[in-house]
Amino acid sequence: MIPKRTFDAVIVGGGGAGLRAALQLAEADLKVAVISKVFPTRSHTVSAQGGITSALGNVSDDNWHWHMYDTVKGSDYLGDQDAIEYMCRNAPTAVYELEHMGLPFSRLPNGKIYQRPFGGQSQNYGGAQAIRTCAAADRTGHALLHTLYQRNIAARTQFFEEFFATDLIRDEAGSILGVVALEIETGQAWLFESRATLLATGGACRIFRHSTNAHINTGDGLGMVLRAGLPLEDMEFWQFHPTGIPEVGSLITEGVRGEGGYLLNKDGEKFMERYAPNAKDLASRDVVSRAIAQEILAGRGCGPHGDFVYLKIDHIGADKVKERLPGIRELSMQFAGVDPCVAPMPVTPTAHYMMGGIPTNMHGQVVAPVKYGPEEPVPGLYAVGECACVSVHGANRLGGNSLLDLVVFGRAAGLHMIDFLRENPIPANLPEQQVDKAMARLARWDKKTGTETVAGLRTDMQRIMQDHCGVYRREDLLKEGIAKLDQVEARLPDAALSDHSKMFNTVRLEALELENLIPIARATLVSALARTESRGAHTREDFPKRDDGQWLRHTLYTRENDQLDYKPVRLKPLTVETFQPKERTY
């Protein structure tokens, strides 16, 4: 048996979601470990730019119910309305809590938290633009993550940084009893035993060739869940952010359009006026991404290959750009060679966010209807943040709602875990054969020679996803994509590791990441093929209409035989009336 550490709770992931949950547990004097494959403050949350959405009403009249309406509509009615109510209702408390922890928000002249307009946000159920997204300049995620990290240090959370979690340990009854993780520096495998395990491993946009995500966003938690025989929810829904820097992928925040920026085609036309007459450039992200893709397809794209459009912001004045969007200016100058104070920035739709993920209830408990009966929690397993699907984002997430999701449900999961630990004081016996199984998978990647490279296979997978499962999808393209992905998967056992030592072997880790990415790509293609309608970010050329009769339901993908199950959308909120599905226009 490998060496073992025992904790009350183990959190896999040191981003905003993991750190918010850990804080709740550590402040309750529980022994909590956070495992992170990078130093926690390098998690992708650090790069969130635009802000965190909450109806504070500091700039425009506002209330949480309008925020709820916008989120339901933004989700194209696929979001679960009870979870959305919970999130929007708790948003102001969550933001004030962060403020009191010391998060350095930008300020209005009257000293209140600065708020900016973001896409899909309205007053009075679809009326005028709401100004709802709270920001710390264009570095909100950085401020949030550092605040939470410092709080966790003070609360004595134990950090295991540069530890790579590989598999969940599950007993016969289906309870989760901990995880196996590799110490990256030495290659040593450790068993982290715990009565409650929370996955907060973030997104997985690295299945695509062009992405705004960090290279570490490889969906490891999702891979672990699939290998444990549990399902993933709504995997066909990936958000393409309208404004990524072409080729490079770096994100240009929606906050640029919030501050008054607009998009132009090669004829200098403000084309969003044609696609979304009311909200224009601040329509929901799926709408803006499709509009840009249409302009490019119609030959109105910019540049020598006509493959991007321009985003103009210089008209608000250099001083304002420098004050409100300093990071964006830096990114644009570095990666696009353009100073936005004087010229428009080239932008194109880029894979950005995973709406689907590990199915959970509002307490962050992982629920697995397939094996455990309807909505039954998997004992001892929780998931929060981008890797989870609670589902508040449905078919399309609104900007600023992800940071909110992290802190609201991170806290909720922490609270539930405290109760769960109190009710389950004695650890169950660890099944040794399960640990052996996890170790056998690792052993397959020891001292490996072979004819393929991990990087080559990853690029092949990313190209397949980009070409066969992008902004627009079609049956023949998706089927071809699945066949091509089968071939990549079959080549994976032949991948060589450049260095055969286990110590600090990054290729070995990349191989383990690819073993997570490929099944996620597969789940995406299979779910996208099944959903014969267009909803939110999932656009089928062959089924252009939304079909509420058949598809007001979530998909659940299980790895064994690519099995698909379904569960209805929870349309009933906690206390208010249902927002009935209607046509979605901006």
Ligand X SMILES: Cc1cc2nc3c(=O)[nH]c(=O)nc-3n(C[C@H](O)[C@H](O)[C@H](O)COP(=O)(O)OP(=O)(O)OC[C@H]3O[C@@H](n4cnc5c(N)ncnc54)[C@H](O)[C@@H]3O)c2cc1C
As a whole number of angstroms, the distance between CA 401 and CA 405 comes to 6
Helix, coil or strand: residue 39 = coil
Rounded least distance, CB 153 to ligand X, Å: 15
Bridge partners, 308 (sequence order): 302
Rank residues 21 and 529 by Cβ distance to ligand X and give the closer one: 21
Given the residues 132, 285, 411, 584, select the one marked as catalytic.
Answer: 285
Residue 99 CA neighbour count, 13 Å, CB half: 18
Angle between helices 140-154 and 16-27 (to 10 degrees): 30
Q: Given candidates 202, 246, 519, 573, which one binds ligand X under the rule CB under 6 A?
A: 202
Q: Does 15 engage in binding with ligand X (CB under 6 A)?
A: yes
The length of the chain is 586
Q: Indicate the helix (H) or strand (E) that contains 423.
A: helix 401-423
Residue 253 DSSP label: -
Sign of the Cα pseudo-torsion (208, 212, 214, 218, in order): negative
Q: Is 285 a catalytic residue?
A: yes
Q: Does 37 engage in binding with ligand X (CB under 6 A)?
A: yes
- Chain CA centroid to CA 271, Å: 29
Q: Does 539 engage in binding with ligand X (CB under 6 A)?
A: no
As a whole number of angstroms, the distance between CA 385 and CA 392 comes to 11
Q: Does 157 engage in binding with ligand X (CB under 6 A)?
A: no
Sequence-separated (6 or more) residues with CB below 8 Å from residue 300:
265, 266, 267, 269, 271, 306
Tell me the residue nearest to ligand X as measured from the CB. Answer: 15
Q: Does 54 engage in binding with ligand X (CB under 6 A)?
A: no
Residues in region 337-356 near ligand X by CB under 6 A:
353
What the block records as the tokens of 202 is 């973030």
What the block records as the tokens of 514 is 């690819």
Rank residues 18 and 119 by Cβ distance to ligand X and give the closer one: 18
Q: Given candidates 26, 38, 232, 569, which one binds ligand X under the rule CB under 6 A?
A: 38
Sequence-separated (6 or more) residues with CB below 8 Å from residue 16:
43, 45, 48, 141, 144, 145, 148, 385, 403, 406, 407, 410
Q: Given candidates 24, 45, 71, 197, which one binds ligand X under the rule CB under 6 A?
A: 45
Please work out the total of residues on this chain that contact ligand X, with binding judged by CB under 6 A: 47
In order of 34, 116, 367, the CA distances from 54 in angstroms are 28, 11, 27
Binding segment for ligand X (CB under 6 A), chosen from 16-24, 320-328, 358-366, 450-458, is 16-24
* Interface characters, 376-405, with ligand X (x: CB under 6 A): ---------xxx-----------xxxxx--
Q: Does 13 engage in binding with ligand X (CB under 6 A)?
A: yes
Rank residues 215 and 322 by Cβ distance to ligand X and give the closer one: 215
Q: Does 200 engage in binding with ligand X (CB under 6 A)?
A: yes
Residues in region 235-294 near ligand X by CB under 6 A:
251, 253
Q: Given candidates 10, 22, 48, 338, which one binds ligand X under the rule CB under 6 A?
A: 48
Q: β-strand 189-199 against 4-12: which pairing, if any?
A: parallel
Rounded least distance, CB 288 to ligand X, Å: 15
Rounded least distance, CB 525 to ligand X, Å: 22
Catalytic residue IDs: 285
Contact set with ligand X (CB under 6 A): 12-18, 35-38, 40, 43-45, 47-52, 140-141, 163-165, 200-203, 212-213, 216-217, 220, 251, 253, 353, 385-387, 399-403, 406
